[in-house]
Amino acid sequence: MIIVDDVHKRYHTDHGVGKWVLKGVSFAIPPKVSVGLVGRNGAGKSTLLRLIGGVDTPSRGRIERHCRVSWPMGYGGGLHGTLTGRQNAKFVCRIHGCEDDLDERVAMVEDFAELGEAFDDPVKTYSSGMKSRLQFGLSLAFDFDVYISDEVTAAGDAAFRAKAAAAFQKVADHAGLIMVSHAEGTLRQFCTAGIWLHEGRAHWFDDLDEALKHYKESLTA
C-alpha cells in the first residue's frame, strides 16, 4: 500500500524557486496493483516516481510506503561510473542489507546481465544498452513489493528485451508495479490501472485504457 496525500513539488533552481511541477497529487495504490503513469513530457512523471521512491521529498504533503519499495529504476541512475559492474552490484546488495547472501545475488546479476568480462570494467565504459542490462539485473536481485520503473524495459537489443520482458512479467505477477513508458504496448502488457498526470494533478483510473484515452485526448486538444 502506497499513500500519496496532497503532494506538491517544486524545485529550487539557480534563479530562485521554480514553478510547481505537482500541485496537490493524491491517490492510494493498493497492494499488488500495477499502475501505468501517463502524461505528456514534463508533466512530472519522473518527479512523481522519485518522490514515491523516496529519493526526493515533497515540498508539501506526504507519502507513506507501507511495503518494500524499490528505487526508481531506469535511465542510468543508481550506477556509479568509476566502479565496476560487480562493485556496483555489491554496493546495492550491501545497502539493502543483503550481506549474508551477497555472492549469490551478485552471481545472479552477473548471470542475467550477460555482460561477460565487461562486468569487471568501470561502468563509465559501458554503452547505454549495457548499463540498462546491469540495472535490470540489479532490479531482479531483490524481492520488492512494489517496483518503480522509469522506462527500464525500453533499452537493450531485441533478444535482451524479450528476456527482460519475460522476467518483468514474472515480477509483475507477484508484486506491484509503477511504471512510466511512452510505449503503449509495454504499459498494456504489464499494467491494469492507470494514472494520468495533467497540469500538476493526478487522475486515477482503475482501467488503464481510460487513462490512455484521456492522455491522448489531452495531446490532441
Partner 1 sequence: MAGYARSTTSVALSVWKALFLREAVSRVSAGRAAWVWMLLEPIVHVVFLMLLFTLVRLRVITGAETAIWLLVGLTSFFTARNIYTRGMEALNANQALFAYRQVLPVDTVLVRGALEAFLGVIVALLLLAGAGLFGFQVIPHDPLAVLAGLAGMCLCGLGLGLILSVASDLVPELGRIAQLLFTPLYFLSGVIFPLTVVPVQYREWLFYNPFSHGLELLRGGFFPLYPVAPEANFAYLFGFAVAVVFLGLAMHVRYADRLRAK
Q: Tell me if 94 contacts partner 1 by CB under 8 A.
A: yes
In 3D space, the residue among 42, 41, 44, 39 whose CA is nearest the CA of residue 218 turns out to be: 39
Of 77 and 200, which CB lies nearer to partner 1 in the complex structure? Answer: 77
Of 68 and 216, which CB lies nearer to partner 1 in the complex structure? Answer: 68
Strands 193-198 and 201-205: antiparallel
Contacts (CB under 8 A) with partner 1, residues 68-87: 68-69, 71-72, 77-83, 87
Contacts (CB under 8 A) with partner 1, residues 134-153: 142-145
CA atoms within 13 A on the CB side of 34: 21
In sequence order, the 6+-apart residues with CB closer than 8 A to the CB of 153 are: 136, 161, 164, 165, 168, 181, 186
Distance CA 202, CA 105 (A): 37
Which backbone phi and psi does 130 adopt, to 5 degrees? -65, -40
Minimum separation from the CB atom of position 9 to partner 1 (A): 10
Minimum separation from the CB atom of position 189 to partner 1 (A): 25
Of 152 and 208, which CB lies nearer to partner 1 in the complex structure? Answer: 152
Q: Tell me if 42 contacts partner 1 by CB under 8 A.
A: no
Of 146 and 212, which CB lies nearer to partner 1 in the complex structure? Answer: 146
Of 138 and 197, which CB lies nearer to partner 1 in the complex structure? Answer: 138
Q: Tell me if 54 contacts partner 1 by CB under 8 A.
A: yes
Can you state the angle between helices 85-95 and 128-140, rounded to 10 degrees? 30
Judged by CB under 8 A, how many residues of this single chain contact partner 1? 34
Which backbone phi and psi does 35 adopt, to 5 degrees? -120, 135
Minimum separation from the CB atom of position 206 to partner 1 (A): 26
Minimum separation from the CB atom of position 64 to partner 1 (A): 11
Of 92 and 191, which CB lies nearer to partner 1 in the complex structure? Answer: 92
Strands 176-180 and 146-150: parallel
In sequence order, the 6+-apart residues with CB closer than 8 A to the CB of 24 are: 6, 7, 8, 61, 200, 201
Q: Which residues of the chain form contacts with partner 1 (CB under 8 A)?
A: 11-12, 53-57, 65, 67-69, 71-72, 77-83, 87, 90-92, 94-99, 142-145
